Copies of this chain bind each other. A is one copy, B any other.
Amino acid sequence: MSTHPFDQAVALRHEGGDHYRGTPHPAWANMVGPFGGITAASALQGVLAHPQLLGAPVALTVNYAAALAPGEYRLAAVPVRTNRSTQHWTLAMTQPGADGQPETVLTGTAVTAVRRETWGLSDEAMPPAPRPGGLARQTILGVEWLNRYDMRPVHGHLPGRWDGGGEHSLTQMWVRDVPERPLDFLSLAAIADVFYPRVWLRRATRVPAGTVSLTTYFHADAALLARSGTGYLFGQARGQAFRNGFFDQAAQLWNEAGEMLATSHQIVYYKE
């Protein structure tokens, strides 16, 4: 098995049928529970490792019902309907509750498909940005999973002063795995969740916040992932509405050549 911390974290033990076991990896710890992106990738791994898989991921939705505890979880990835070229999946993660009975910690769905070459284009050009080589790597101490990424913000840095003076919610940055790792669907699913809560930027105020639901659409196929290799991705994320405890966050990811790889959306709980 690969010794890369990403591969270690998404490793599952197949128990047969639609059932797996896995364990949150301490290298991906967030403030409470693991980084949501690695949990999303672990759920998707249940689809990709399934013997009945048809095609490649097109859509993934995960809902975080509770923070994962440090111990083992069980994952069910069920191909509930297989059509000629698309396949529909349900996802569920459970962990034992206080009484030892399984409690749901994640729900989700995925769609995979056999993709065929068609007309296509990107209608959202990658914004102009300086190359990553000349930019400083963001260093934030105290949150372990942030050490798993080389993030180089271009716009919308984490506020240096929490003074309530925010004016927008847009972050643009280069990002790649540390150590470098060839891009695949799993790492792309994780990277879709690397943007810190937009409410922190919009208000320059650090309030408690956590993702409730995350949906990612994969525009990349295997060939485009292979072309992206170990290069940086360029990502941007922005909030559209902040209201009564929840805001959304819309994100786009391109490879270094400016090809769009994924679009992603999430809704995030916030306090105050």
What residues of chain A have their CB less than 8 Å away from a CB belonging to chain B?
A: 58-59, 61, 63, 65-66, 80-81, 83, 86, 88-90, 92, 103-105, 107-109, 111, 113, 115-124, 168-169, 198, 202-203, 212-213, 215, 217, 219-221, 238-246, 248, 250, 252, 260, 263, 265, 267, 269-272
> Which B-chain residue is minimally distant from A108 (CB atoms)?
B109
Question: Judging by beta carbons under 8 Å apart, are A245 and B81 in contact?
Answer: no
Partner of A244, one of B63, B109, B118, B267: B118
Q: Chain B nearest CB: distance from A87 CB in Å?
A: 9
Contacts of A86 in B (CB 8 A): 65, 212, 269
Contacts of A252 in B (CB 8 A): 240
Contacts of A267 in B (CB 8 A): 58-59, 111, 217
Partner of A213, one of B109, B213, B250, B263: B109
**A92 CA / B81 CA spacing, docked (Å):** 11
**A230 CA / B244 CA spacing, docked (Å):** 23
Interface centre among A90, A92, A220 (most CB of B within 10 A): A90
Knowing A241-B123, A244-B221, the reply to whether A212 touches B111 (Cβ < 8 A) is yes
Q: Chain B nearest CB: distance from A252 CB in Å?
A: 7
Knowing A66-B81, A109-B61, A244-B115, the reply to whether A123 touches B221 (Cβ < 8 A) is no
Question: Judging by beta carbons under 8 Å apart, are A123 and B240 in contact?
Answer: yes
Knowing A241-B123, A241-B219, A242-B120, the reply to whether A213 touches B65 (Cβ < 8 A) is no
Knowing A111-B213, A169-B123, the reply to whether A240 touches B221 (Cβ < 8 A) is no
Question: Judging by beta carbons under 8 Å apart, are A81 and B104 in contact?
Answer: yes
Contacts of A203 in B (CB 8 A): 119
Question: Judging by beta carbons under 8 Å apart, are A123 and B58 in contact?
Answer: no
**A213 CA / B264 CA spacing, docked (Å):** 13
Question: Judging by beta carbons under 8 Å apart, are B83 and A107 in contact?
Answer: no
Question: Judging by beta carbons under 8 Å apart, are A248 and B219 in contact?
Answer: yes
**A250 CA / B90 CA spacing, docked (Å):** 23
Interface centre among A66, A81, A272 (most CB of B within 10 A): A81
**A161 CA / B208 CA spacing, docked (Å):** 52
